[in-house]
Structure formats: structure tokens, C-alpha cells
Structure 1
Amino acid sequence: MNLRQETRDHTRPLGARGRRTKTLIGTGLVMTVLGSLVGGGASAGAASSAGASAAGASASATRSAAVSPAPKKRRIDRARPVFSNPTKITNPLFPISKLDHVIQLGEDAGESLRVEIALLPKTRTIKWRGKGVETVVSQFIAYLDGRVAETAVDYFAQADDGSVWYFGEKVSNYEDGVIANHEGSWLAGRDGRPGMIMPADPKVGDVYRPENIPGFVFEEVTVKAINKTVAGPRGPVQGAIRVQERLMDGTTESKVFAPGYGEFRAEAADELVKLAVAVPIDAQRGSAPGELRVLYRGATKIFNAVPSKDWAGISARLESMTAAWDTYRAGDIPTLLESQMTAALEGLSGAVGAETPGPARQAAIEVYGAGLDFLLQYRRVPAIDFDRLDLWGRQLIVDSAAGDRGGVAGDIAVLKTIRARVAHTLGK
């Protein structure tokens, strides 16, 4: 799922990073890692989640008493679904098979939260009740303050009545850049039944369970409002619904789902995340505006120029980038992406003004990433992901130079995860 209780409960990778022993890793190793990723030599797999899932089930069982489920008569997910063409997902409120890439931005307990959701070019057949159900496969990455907190692979299928069902997830929770556990992982058939994640025609008062293995994984959703209009990346979006989701520990989240986008907004006591941009629904015709090219290319040139300490030249390039941004932002652009780029440029301006090489390179990376989020509207997703491999390679160089062992480990994990999104294009 797009916003996870596991991320809040189990992963705080940033607080521990400074306590790790710092180790300097050479740039040669950085390039070796990048070469193996692009060349296909690195594995994108993680350790088996079976043991960790069982451990997570035991821990979760102690919290199950906090759940107060709705009366059975209100639930609309009790009939056994039939799956004749399960990967053709046409439900407008959960169009996962038509969303090539989604970016969500927000905050979690005072830390910046970024989520990337990507459709993978494969399906997985999951055996349930003696039959194989082919599922759509989606990849999830969550970052807290720019560091990987969680990755997951999720499985979805649409039933013949138009409802969408959740068939499980393989979760990796990270601490200090390495996998700490796989809590939250489950698979329909092996661990229990699939859960309805979106009805075909939701109505106020409907209750359903996206995760429905009490004592193991549990989420119960109640529809609170329908036919809402919400502010989208490029204008109003009609036909949205608002739901309340009750989790295993009894806490609740408020979520909005919008046609063409799916999960649009999620809010809990200490967390708020909103959809920033999604493609192809927010894709723009034509080539990218020249101002965007000035921004993201300028960021890479500043990154490359920092070791020379030519601060006058770097400042001049930054001025041209700022002018390009002022021109571009005057148009109709996604609000959250605008805020992200503005903050990134302010950070770069401060680091360049202070003439501090490490912070300047880090800030250039952040401007580069903000630029790629805008370019997602104009370029094919694999092209953006290859640029993201380059971005994380640069992050790896920065963390290596700083002797940040946890940062390096997390960078490599992200590189492997992104590589899984583009592996099918290699060699073509």
C-alpha cells in the first residue's frame, strides 16, 4: 500500500546513522557499483521474508486486541471474488495498472517524506484456493529525510465485479541503510485471504478490509464521503472519495482516493502525504521547456564543478538557474513540485554562498532530483529512472567522501531498487 504503518512504527533510519563507524569508500568502488547495476551484474533481490514475516505476525498479534471491527453486516467484501481477467484493472479509484509512476510528498514526524510508486513490467501468479490468480506488480519506495526507509513489492488484481483486491506485499524495512526486518510482508494463499482494497462502486458507510488476516496484518476501511472534488497537480479532480482506515493497533488514518490517481492524500496524527505528480495522467505534450533543462543540467554541472572551487563560475551558473526557475514557475505547474524546487534552490544558494563543497554538492543533487520530478511529465519513465540511477550514483560519491557508511549502504539499496524498474530495457 502507498502509505504504511510499518514505515512509521519500525523504520527511523536517520537517527542511528551518525552512530555508525565511518568508513571511507573510494570513488572507484562507486563506479564499479554503478557499472554492475547498469550492466546487469547486481542482484535486486533481498533476503527471504518468511522468517521475518512470522516474527512480525507474533509481534502484531499482541496488538490485535486494540482493533474494534465493524459489524459484519456493513462489510461488502465477504463474498468470494471471481477473477477472470485480473490484470485488466479498470477501477478509476485504484488504476494501478495504468499508473506508470507516482510521486507523493509530505512529512512524517517532522521528517520529510517522499514516496515513489512504479508499475513493474511483469505480473505474478499467486495461488489462492487451488487456483492461480495473475496479479499486477507495483514497486514502492519510501524515503525519510532523503534516506531509504522502506521498499516493497505489492500485488493487485481486479475481480469480475470491478473491485480491486490486494494479494500481498514483500516489505523491506531499513535502518542505517541496511535491511532491519521484513515486518508487514504477507502473501494471499500462503498466509490467508486477499483483501478488497477498492470497491467497484463505493458508497458512504461501506466497510472493507484491504488486509484481513487478524493477528498478522489488518486494515479496515470505512467510506466516509463520495463525489468529492479535490485539488490535483493541474487542476480540480472530481469524483474522489474520503475513507477512514483503522489499523492493527487501533490507530486511524484519513485517506482520499481520486479517479485516475488512486491514493491521493493520507493523513494520520503525525503524518501527511499528498500526491505530487503521476504519469501518464499528468503527462504533458511536447518536449520539456528549456528552463527545466537549464535547471537539471545546471545542477549536474555545479556538482561536477565543486571540486575546482571556482565559486565565481558556480555562482554565475546558479544565477542563470534561478532566472530560469523564475520564468518557469510563472506558469501552471504542480504545486508540491514547485515548493520542492524552491526549497532545493534556496539550499543550493546558501551552500554556494558559504563556499562549502560537501553541502554544495548535496544541494546540487537535491535540485537535480527536483528537476527530474518535473521532467517526469515530459519524458518516458525509463529515461527518468536512468537519470535517477545517475543521481543516486552522485549521492553515493558524496556519502563515500564523507565516510558515511550507512548512507553508502542505503544508496546502494536504492540503486538496486531503481535498477529493478529498468532492467527490462537493458540490452534493447
Structure 2
Amino acid sequence: MNLRRETKHRDGLSGTTRRRPGMAIAAGLALTMVAGGLAQMGIGLAASNNSAAAGAGRGERRVDLARPKFSDPTSITNPLFPISELEQVIQLGQEGGDPLRIEVTLLPRTKTIKWNGQRVETLVSQFIAYLDGRVLETAVDYFAQADDGSVWYFGEKVNNYENGVIANHEGTWLAGKDGPPGMIMPADPKVGDIYRPENIPGFVFEEVTVKAVDQTVDGPRGPVEGAIRVEELLMDGTTEDKIFAPGYGEFLARAEDELVTVALAVPIDALSGPLSAELGALWKGAVEIFDATPARDWDAISGTLDSMIAAWDAYQVGDYTPELLDEQMTSALDELTSAVEMQRPVRARYAAVEVGIASADFQLRYRAFHKVDFDRIELYSRRLLVDNAGNRMGDVAGDVAVIETIWDRIARTVGGKA
């Protein structure tokens, strides 16, 4: 599952501008892109269709030049890109020193895309990224598995946000309409394999080189074996390091000013049994503090906060907590504690929402994701009230966008809430 957007080459995101590679890099990259584009059409560039692409080093080889066939494309069984087996993934990290949060959800629908005389049915995945708690980007992505077990990327529909409103749709593309699909995961990746998830020269481009296989990474429930490490070259000449892990897909992405890692995925990290009383107390306390702050009864609010901290301490002792979720909850409670101690009602309400979000992520281990999403909608609706009261119209617009995005992934489950 594509958990990390390639935003480094897009204008208008988080105040950054498009980076321009040096002339030598740009020239070499252009030659590589042209060679790849011709190869996709079956045309070699002073080489046969089975030759390594221009720019590939010794031992490196393009593995995405054969034309894929799709007999059962929505059955995606590739363990390093198991999109059909993942309901929802939460990824946490930072970008430029600000908290970065990503949610990826498999949608309950497919999309048929016409390409190369075929009608290929694809799975549809929804992506939303938040920077410092505010919406940065939303997208839907289209994936299909070829008969040889490789997974192919058929495009994406992107909304890039600035100050809560859509700034542009840069990065949007669709196979068949704009160019070919791109391989996003080989069937059996090996060191030196090269493939291009996006390969429309001058429009979208990503080239991946496998650097290591049979790696072990620390997952939410413990060590995960069989991971691969890759380097991804972007259209602006910059690179990112990524790790893909069995059962999770894209597990980690690292760039110069950014690191984001899977914090939790379901159902792989789900637990049996009922929701713990401690997590219930954290959620209940966050809602109570949010509702109580306008009255400024700080003694009562402090008592509720003390109960929440005690519940969190008890939960940490009684159950294994994924590290990134642990850090998120601890940070949210620290911020709420500071706001309550300083008797800052608006700040306390925002902090209570963040505790609620952290609690909802933990609840994802015990409850169906669509039920947790209903609670998330409640949280963002509460935050919308605070933003509106403060005349933060850009943030209000962003809250609405988030609510609509979450609603899109659960609308078909209405009536099934418990």
C-alpha cells in the first residue's frame, strides 16, 4: 500500500517550492526517462527490450519492461504490497520538524481503467496526510496485480491543500489517459531490480532501485522479517529511502527533512477481546474536558485529567503498546496537562481533541475501523466548533475536508455502527 506521497516534486505543499536538479542530473534523468518511455512502448534506445535501462549500474536491471497481463487484478496477494488484506494503516512521523500523520484506507469499491486494449479492474485506496494536525493532501490511488504476482500502479486523483482549501491537483494521473501504469512492487524483488511506479516523462516520474532484501524491521507488534530496502529517485532529482515489509507494504519513508513510519495496521495488528476500560476512560475524559472547558471549572477538569493519566499508566503496564502510538498519546497528554495547568480553555480543547485522536488509534486494535472512523468524525466536528469560534476560516474549511474524506470511506457502512 502506497503510504507515502511523493510530494517533493509538487508545488504548493507545506509552503515549499519545486526543487530543481542541477543541469547534469537533469540531463541524465531526462535521458533515463525518455529511454523508459520508449521501452514501455516496446522501442529500445540502442538496446533490446530486455536490456538494462539507461543509467542502470552494474548488477542493476529494469524488471518492469514486459507488458503485464491482468486476469484477476483485484486479488493482490503480493506480501510486500498486500493492499487487499489491509483495511486501514496509520503512519506517524515528522516533516520539517512538524508532526506528520498519514491514514490509508482500502475503499469498498473498485475502478475499471482502460489501458492497452484491456479493461483492468483496480482496487481503490484512500490517502490523507495531515501536517501539524491540519490536512495537507488527500488522494485516491488505483492498484492491480498482474498474473506474475507484480503489483501495478494505475494512477491517482490528488487534492493538495493550502490553508484548508484545495490549492491544486498536481500529481494527478490516470493510466490509459495520461500514459502507462507503473510497477510498484515486483513479484520477487532482488537486489539491483529497477522499476518505475510512475513513468510518464515530464509529467510524473519515480524510479525505484532495490538496495537490500531479507531485512528485519521493528513492527508495531515486534520484529518483522523479510523486508526490503529501496531507493526512490523522484522527478526533481532528489531521492528517498523506503522500506517495504511483509504484511504492511510501504513501512517507512525517509528523506532529508522527513521520516514517517507505520504505527499500526489492521487487521494485522488487531487484538482479540473487548476494548480495555483504560482506553475507554481516555476517550471519555477527552470528551468531558472538551465539553467542560467553557465553564472554566478547572478543579473538576484537573480531576478528570488525573483520572486519564492514571488510566494511561495502567494501560501501559497491562498491555503491549506500539511505540509510535505510545509516543503520540504521551505527547498529547503532556500538551493537555500544560493547557489545564495554565487554565487555557481554547488550547485545552484542541489538546483534548488530540488525546481523542490518539485514543482512537489505539481503539483501532480492538474495533472495526469504520466504527473508529465515526468517532474521528465526532472529534473533527468538535474541533470545527473551536476553529469557527476563533474565526479560523481556513482551518474550518480544512476540518470540513477531513470530515468529508473520512465519511467517503465509511458511508456505505451507515447503519452498522455499534
| Fold shared per TM-score above 0.5 | yes
1:95 to 70, 74, 82: 82
1:414 to 394, 402, 417: 402
Give 1:231's aligned residue.
Answer: 218
Residue deviations 1:88-134 (CA, integer Å, cap 9, x gap): 00000000111100000001111110000000000000000121100
Partner secondary structure for residue 424 of structure 1:
helix
Give 2:236's aligned residue.
Answer: 249
Residue deviations 1:255-314 (CA, integer Å, cap 9, x gap): 000000000000011110000000000000011111100101110111011111111001
Q: Please tell me whether the aligned partners of residues 10 and 170 of structure 2 are also in contact (alpha carbons under 8 angstroms).
A: no
- What aligned pairs does 1:28-427 form with structure 2 within 5 A after superposition? 65=27, 67=29, 69=32, 71-72=52-53, 74-330=61-317, 331-427=319-415
TM-score if structure 2 supplies the norm length?
Answer: 0.89
Distance change >3 Å, CA 14–CA 317, structure 1 → 2: farther
- What aligned pairs does 1:4-23 form with structure 2 within 5 A after superposition? 4-6=5-7, 9-12=10-13
Q: Please tell me whether the aligned partners of residues 239 and 255 of structure 2 are also in contact (alpha carbons under 8 angstroms).
A: yes
> Structure 1: 5+ residue runs without aligned partners?
16-55
Give the superposition deviation at 1:425.
1.4
Distance change >3 Å, CA 313–CA 8, structure 1 → 2: farther
Partner secondary structure for residue 160 of structure 2:
strand
Partner secondary structure for residue 10 of structure 1:
coil
Which of structure 1's runs of 4+ aligned residues deviate more than 6 A? Answer: none
Tell me the amino acid that sits aligned with residue 359 of structure 1.
R
Give the superposition deviation at 1:87.
0.2
Partner secondary structure for residue 3 of structure 1:
coil
Q: Please tell me whether the aligned partners of residues 74 and 84 of structure 2 are also in contact (alpha carbons under 8 angstroms).
A: yes
TM-score if structure 1 supplies the norm length?
Answer: 0.87
> What is the CA–CA distance in structure 1 between the aligned matches of 2:8 and 2:213, rounded to whole Å?
28
Tell me the amino acid that sits aligned with residue 204 of structure 1.
V
Give 1:2's aligned residue.
Answer: 3
Give % identity: 62
Give the superposition deviation at 1:233.
0.4
Distance change >3 Å, CA 7–CA 307, structure 1 → 2: farther
Residue deviations 1:156-193 (CA, integer Å, cap 9, x gap): 00000000000000000000100000000000000000
Give the superposition deviation at 1:4.
2.1
> What is the CA–CA distance in structure 2 between the aligned matches of 1:208 and 1:64, rounded to whole Å?
19
Residue deviations 1:302-333 (CA, integer Å, cap 9, x gap): 10111111110010010010011111112311
Tell me the amino acid that sits aligned with residue 396 of structure 2.
V
> What is the CA–CA distance in structure 1 between the aligned matches of 2:354 and 2:116, rounded to whole Å?
48
Q: Please tell me whether the aligned partners of residues 140 and 151 of structure 1 are also in contact (alpha carbons under 8 angstroms).
A: yes
> What is the CA–CA distance in structure 2 between the aligned matches of 1:212 and 1:388, rounded to whole Å?
36
Partner secondary structure for residue 333 of structure 2:
helix
Partner secondary structure for residue 295 of structure 1:
helix
**Aligned-residue CA RMSD in angstroms?**
1.9
Tell me the amino acid that sits aligned with residue 226 of structure 2.
G
> What is the CA–CA distance in structure 2 between the aligned matches of 1:137 and 1:182, rounded to whole Å?
18
Partner secondary structure for residue 329 of structure 1:
helix
Give the superposition deviation at 1:135.
0.1
